[in-house]
Chain A
Amino acid sequence: MNAPLDRGATVVAAAALHADDVDRRGRFPAEAVQALKDSRLLSLMIPGELGGAGAPLADVAELCTMLGHQCASTAMVFAMHQIKVSSLVAHGMESEWHRDFMRRVCDGQLLLASATTEGGVGGNMRNSVCAFERDGDMFRVAKEGALISYGAQADAILVTARRAADAPASDQRMAVLTRGQYRLERSGEWDALGMRGTCSEGFTLSGEAPYAQILESEFADIASHSMLATAHLLWSSVWYGVASDALGRAQAFVRKEARKRFDGPTPGSLRLAEASTKLQLMRANIVEGLKRFERAKSEPDDLNSMSFAVTMNNIKIGSSELAIEIINHALLITGIAGYKNGTPYSVGRHMRDALSARVMISNDRILSNMSSLLLAQRIDARLGG
């Protein structure tokens, strides 16, 4: 028995109960997030010495998948929170302020959001317009046009900005701002096709805080050591949950049909077999990625390497494409029963939610970045293992 995953069962139930309402009204999945807090799952990855559960990323990924079966918005909020936690764990352990903040995250089950993009950078989070402006022991920052998922509901926000007013756009740092230290002014609403419960609204964020709240590591290192990898792995785990639930519904449909007729497989059953191949590919890709990440964490050179970045990017591209193919198959199998809302075979919300996968950091942007990296990185001809 795995205790965190056991505790996840109550959260999954809460997520399932409210998923339709969250989607229909485009509202924050407050009940499921409260259940995450009650089960102390927001501090799952924080080391035991600071009050967390010290769980490996694979446990977090499993919970993302479990939640993804029921409510992709809850699963994504959980995933995004854990991505911020991973940055703190990987880069904040040497700093007294950040260690103390992690204790507060454990004690208060604080929900963390992030503001990494802003107007004027074309969606590229590795460039900032705004800067941390130091004033003695304090800094000020003002970020316009930032898309902050569940920004209004978060207890703290991790903000990126240029290191200083005279630093180039790519020389960034990341700071923790806690509620009360920042002001949010809503500049855009979130009435989206899917993932409606993430409430990823546009905001102007402004705040000031002690300088000690800026993480010492360069944001480039935070991005490549913790954010990029955990984001792609956890997002993919959410999408795996969404896709496997859709395929489960298609399988139930095929079984029901098969019980009614005995003259051989229906067209739907062939599609099911085909989609199960894709689901297996998707799963293998994520599981292998989780293992690679665990290995790389103890080998800084690997974590820094282009081949690691390419691998993590490929996991995101692969799982976002496969999720849609699998759900599309599920829709073909279930037909009108799947297209309609409110049947046991409905896969409409699955499809709408999964369509976000290709645009959450646009696949085209990632492919373009990778095409540049592949000018240097060598193709791995080994099977490894």
Chain B
Amino acid sequence: MLDTIRRLVEEQGRLSVAAAALRDDADLYASGLTSFAAVQLMLALEEEFDVEFPERMLNRRSFASIAAIASCISELKPEEVA
């Protein structure tokens, strides 16, 4: 799951560094993620994982790092964690 998220961050995040070089807990905003790129990323994650982010996850913290995104997805789709 982390690899898939990292790929989507690379495609949608418009970061100033390669997503492959980022640690799971690296701050995506410090690497240039904007709130608008975060929305694009969210749409791509919804499509890829077939989930819908609920209102309570639509905040800055949910997209702060690859690990934070993974924890949201795991919560929405427990079976993916295995």
A91–B53 CA distance with the chains assembled, in angstroms: 29
CB contacts (< 8 Å) of A218 on chain B: these are 29
Whether B30 sits at the interface, judged by CB under 8 Å, is yes
**What 1/0 flags go to B38-64 for Cβ under 8 Å of A?**
010011000000000101101111000
A307–B53 CA distance with the chains assembled, in angstroms: 13
Which of A170, A307, A376 makes the CB contact (< 8 A) with B29? A170
CB under 8 Å from chain B, chain A span 94-149: 126
A163–B27 CA distance with the chains assembled, in angstroms: 14
CB contacts (< 8 Å) of B35 on chain A: these are 126, 220, 373
Whether A155 sits at the interface, judged by CB under 8 Å, is no
CB under 8 Å from chain B, chain A span 335-385: 369, 372-373, 375-378
A301–B43 CA distance with the chains assembled, in angstroms: 20
Interface centre among B30, B42, B61 (most CB of A within 10 A): B30
Which of B16, B43, B60 makes the CB contact (< 8 A) with A168? B16
Interface centre among B39, B43, B59 (most CB of A within 10 A): B59
Main secondary structure of the interface of B (DSSP, over half): helix
B42 contacts A376, CB within 8 Å? Answer: yes
B58 contacts A377, CB within 8 Å? Answer: yes
Which of A224, A304, A373, A376 makes the CB contact (< 8 A) with B53? A376
A171–B53 CA distance with the chains assembled, in angstroms: 25
B39 contacts A304, CB within 8 Å? Answer: no
CB contacts (< 8 Å) of B15 on chain A: these are 168
B59 contacts A170, CB within 8 Å? Answer: no
Known contacts A168-B16, A372-B39, A373-B39, A306 near B32 by CB under 8 Å: no
B61 contacts A304, CB within 8 Å? Answer: yes
Which of A168, A170, A221, A378 makes the CB contact (< 8 A) with B55? A378
**What 1/0 flags go to A212-233 for Cβ under 8 Å of B?**
0000001011001000000000
CB contacts (< 8 Å) of B61 on chain A: these are 301, 304
Interchain nearest-CB distance for B82 vs A (Å): 28
Which of A126, A169, A305 makes the CB contact (< 8 A) with B58? A305
Whether A167 sits at the interface, judged by CB under 8 Å, is yes
A345–B53 CA distance with the chains assembled, in angstroms: 53
B32 contacts A169, CB within 8 Å? Answer: yes
A376–B53 CA distance with the chains assembled, in angstroms: 8
Interchain nearest-CB distance for A303 vs B (Å): 9
B36 contacts A372, CB within 8 Å? Answer: yes
CB contacts (< 8 Å) of B30 on chain A: these are 163, 167-168, 171
B32 contacts A301, CB within 8 Å? Answer: no
A167–B55 CA distance with the chains assembled, in angstroms: 31
A304–B36 CA distance with the chains assembled, in angstroms: 14
B43 contacts A376, CB within 8 Å? Answer: yes
Interchain nearest-CB distance for A164 vs B (Å): 10
CB contacts (< 8 Å) of A304 on chain B: these are 59-61
B56's closest neighbor in chain A, by CB?
A: A301
A-B CB contact pairs (8 Å), 30 listed:
A126-B34, A126-B35, A163-B30, A167-B30, A168-B15, A168-B16, A168-B31, A170-B29, A170-B32, A170-B33, A170-B34, A171-B30, A171-B31, A171-B32, A220-B29, A220-B60, A221-B60, A304-B59, A305-B59, A306-B58, A369-B36, A372-B36, A372-B39, A376-B39, A376-B42, A376-B43, A376-B53, A376-B58, A377-B55, A378-B55
Query: Chain B interface (Cβ within 8 Å of chain A)?
Result: 15-16, 29-36, 39, 42-43, 53, 55-56, 58-61
Query: Chain A interface (Cβ within 8 Å of chain B)?
Result: 126, 163, 167-171, 218, 220-221, 224, 301, 304-307, 369, 372-373, 375-378
Q: Given A163-B30, A170-B29, A171-B30, 19 more contacts at CB 8 Å?
A: A167-B30, A168-B16, A168-B30, A168-B31, A168-B32, A170-B33, A171-B32, A220-B35, A301-B59, A305-B56, A305-B58, A307-B55, A373-B35, A373-B39, A375-B39, A375-B43, A376-B42, A376-B58, A378-B55
